[in-house]
Structure 1
């Protein structure tokens, strides 16, 4: 079936719905990895130390010890603290990203005469669609990160910052207005563009390479290998921006919504490297890599489970 026939068979509304359902399944499965990643990215924060914060030596050293510590000290259900805004975010981001990518691929950039989408066009399409989807979804990311850190705040004896999704949104609006909802959007968009550059482009390239140059059919093995490669590349490219995004979004703010630890994402980057070293930008790398890999693979499998006729052309 040609791409044109495929698009007429599956309208964009249907693809958005399938993508949203797949994103919800993927988020529920992988959210403990997301929470673990956030906790690792915040520990030993240099900006807090410079501004007189009570920074203790990192209690959690790695992904497994962090997850086990959360279960022991906060309870197993706390591994899903903040999952509601994460689902909202994933539906908006993943659905919007896929629709934008398909629109760019089919109508704006276009395939070559043999039906292949060239790598250089995939690079452009991946970065634009990822950045656009993440900008729209950035407020939900902000709420998610603040809710994910509530457990640690309680362990440190600090008062709760937010009491739920609705309270978080209203509190941010009251302190910083509409603009406050997009706090940290710059590194967030940068992260999304870089992750999509490694994700969509690498997945597409590896999958077509395997289909053309090996005897591996278009099945779960092919998708799994492509997911592993794209997850690794995406994590290498996107983790530094992800660390900066997490710290900027999590920092305390004054009554006007201004950050108390960092003046900007660049200031956060400089402080992190100066106080903790270059590799502080790769805190949480392992759960990030696992998260992207599992999430991408889960999306593909879930899409095919919801519709056995749905063929993903990405």
Structure 2
């Protein structure tokens, strides 16, 4: 009784600890859910049965011929007093336990602690283990030295939770060794390829991705005939799959965080020796597997006795996406939404025209909002930039109006008021919607088309995507900017009447709206060709190890990328501004890009081409930063799955099961983690309970 009370106290402590990691639903809300599933009443108290909890609440074992013993074992994790009924206090305690960091190990411990005393005896472990699907395929030697080391020579020692967690971690490795020994009947240290495949598909199945299983293991992508798999190779193979998250860190260390950079075996080995004790054999296997995964029939071109590809051994290179293809899916990392989107993009014909139209409308809306936010945030700087660029310093016009950008800013407020800084904002907001939407969409579209099968894109492909984005926006940008510029400089004319946007449009006419379009192309194409690749690389550099970007890192990446892009295209922006502004009396007029370039240089010198460069950087850099961070945050907040793509890095931060769990009705608080954690018993430890009460016919 004392042990049971101690265990209850520990569970309550876990419940309190869980509250610190995940917001708990209040007790009344949890009780309301409990009562919906409680079907038994005893002594005035409601209880949930094993079937109610596992089949109805969790949604597991829905088959008519479900395995009642398995259902009872799973329910026993929650049923602390093991009376076959789950009380509200037990239901509430387990909700808290699911929230703690070691919930998977604690859940596994309670599965084996069948008498609920807070300790696991050998008989309890053996009883549960012998009921698993794995043990029925390949029985484990319960008399092994490994078992006796943990449970004692006479197997009477009781194991505590911390000790059992270590036992469970080591047990599955020992299971693989036991399986190897059974197949190596003559104790030669080798097993056949067929035996290796059987062990991997039974004992180590939870370490195999779908592709690895089909392209390598099931496809016999290893040496055939008399060739064997050695014990060192077997151990290294499994150690590699167990440590793929570490392998990813080694790769990122070798590339300084870049995910698309190819790494040679020598470079990877060097990084591995700096960080961990990954063996050369494991690295050999890693490069061989990556080579095999890209071979359609699952076999390498040439293999030696250990199954290693000679080609991969000497010339193989890997990228980060190669590692994902062989990384086993952990219980807390379900298939993310991004994977489904990439697959949808790779086969767009599967999506109907209506869906694609809806997606375009959705993107247009988000791009419009993001563009409006970005434009409004920096519009006063844009106005100062325009007036500085339009200011002529030739001998024909006398004294300049503004000494510098700050002087211009002060004089606008003094003579035109605060709202003078926002002259021309309305047409800017009207035009910025299609401009930003097309620009962002075109960049994503061309990037998708330029990616190879591994999901990588070359720098030239990134530059081309950006250039296409810049060219596509000119159809909207030029009319927008010529109207905006004429409104912005209107305030410079003392005593001039108020200029309206519609009046400017009527005065220009359709073709007049595209005056200076060549200069606009000369500015926008190189700007986007510089900006988007720079943004992608800086953003990747700022991302965490899961590829996630915090909004502040997105903002910083956008601002940094804008500095070289905005400054280097300033000469084209100056020429465009001069072509689009109405020349006043005494000012030079221009007849095209070449004429403007020649006259500006002759009258004002080379420095004139860099007028407003500072203001342009301070406008364009933060504007695009705000626009892109707004766009990506809107993608997160208002995500709609059309089967298309979304900006890389805009996905929700995926770090816990609660963010990836497909929520069932009434699963709140810790219970949002219930299904992935129970699934984790199999994917992490290989503990799979039979679902059916009898073997189903083939």
> Which bracket does the TM-score occupy, shorter chain normalised?
0.7 to 0.9
2:450 aligned to which of 110, 130, 136: 110
> Hey, what does 2:574 align to over in structure 1?
243
Determine which structure has more spread, i.e. the larger CA radius of gyration: 2
2:384 aligned to which of 31, 36, 45: 36
Q: CA deviation at 1:41?
A: 0.3
Which range moves more in the overlay, 219-228 or 23-32? 219-228
> Hey, what does 1:278 align to over in structure 2?
606
What secondary structure does 2:603 align onto? helix
What secondary structure does 1:149 align onto? helix
1:72 aligned onto 2:414:
yes
Q: 1:306 to 1:117 in 2, by over 3 A?
A: same
Measure, in 1, the Cα distance between the counterparts of 2:549 and 2:524. 27
Q: CA deviation at 1:148?
A: 0.5
1:183 aligned to which of 512, 515, 520: 515
> Hey, what does 1:4 align to over in structure 2?
342
What secondary structure does 1:152 align onto? coil
Q: 1:250 to 1:126 in 2, by over 3 A?
A: same
Q: 1:228 to 1:36 in 2, by over 3 A?
A: same
Q: Which has more helix, going by share of residues?
A: 1
Unaligned 5+ segments in structure 2 are 1-337, 346-350, 640-645, 650-698
What secondary structure does 2:452 align onto? coil
Over aligned residue pairs, what C-alpha RMSD do you find? 2.7
Measure, in 1, the Cα distance between the counterparts of 2:364 and 2:457. 21
Measure, in 2, the Cα distance between the counterparts of 1:43 and 1:19. 33
Q: 1:197 to 1:307 in 2, by over 3 A?
A: closer
> Hey, what does 1:86 align to over in structure 2?
428
1:194 aligned onto 2:530:
no
Q: 1:304 to 1:227 in 2, by over 3 A?
A: closer
> Hey, what does 1:256 align to over in structure 2?
none
Q: Is the 8 A contact 2:393 2:400 kept in 1?
A: no
Q: 1:6 to 1:167 in 2, by over 3 A?
A: farther
> Hey, what does 2:488 align to over in structure 1?
148
Q: CA deviation at 1:305?
A: 4.6
Q: For this pair of structures, how many residues does the alignment match?
A: 293
What secondary structure does 1:23 align onto? helix
Which fold has the larger relative contact order, with Cα–Cα distance below 8 Å and residues 6 or more apart in sequence? 1
1:166 aligned to which of 480, 502, 512: 502
Q: How far does the alpha carbon of each residue in 1:39-72 deviate from its partner, in whole angstroms, 9 at most, with x for none?
A: 11011254xx5xx5xx232232222221111001
Measure, in 2, the Cα distance between the counterparts of 1:244 and 1:266. 9
1:203 aligned onto 2:539:
no
- TM-score, normalised to structure 2's length? 0.39
Measure, in 1, the Cα distance between the counterparts of 2:475 and 2:570. 17
Measure, in 1, the Cα distance between the counterparts of 2:626 and 2:556. 13
> Hey, what does 1:218 align to over in structure 2?
549
Q: Is the 8 A contact 1:198 1:237 kept in 2?
A: no
> Hey, what does 1:269 align to over in structure 2?
597
Q: Is the 8 A contact 1:135 1:189 kept in 2?
A: no
What secondary structure does 2:636 align onto? coil
> Hey, what does 1:130 align to over in structure 2?
470
Q: 1:201 to 1:305 in 2, by over 3 A?
A: closer
Q: CA deviation at 1:105?
A: 2.0
What secondary structure does 1:11 align onto? helix
> Hey, what does 2:405 align to over in structure 1?
63
Q: 1:102 to 1:211 in 2, by over 3 A?
A: same
1:121 aligned onto 2:461:
yes
Unaligned 5+ segments in structure 1 are 254-258
Q: How far does the alpha carbon of each residue in 1:83-121 deviate from its partner, in whole angstroms, 9 at most, with x for none?
A: 111112311211111122222222xx3312332332111
Q: Is the 8 A contact 1:92 1:136 kept in 2?
A: yes
1:19 aligned onto 2:367:
yes
> Hey, what does 1:233 align to over in structure 2?
564
Q: CA deviation at 1:262?
A: 0.6
What secondary structure does 1:33 align onto? helix
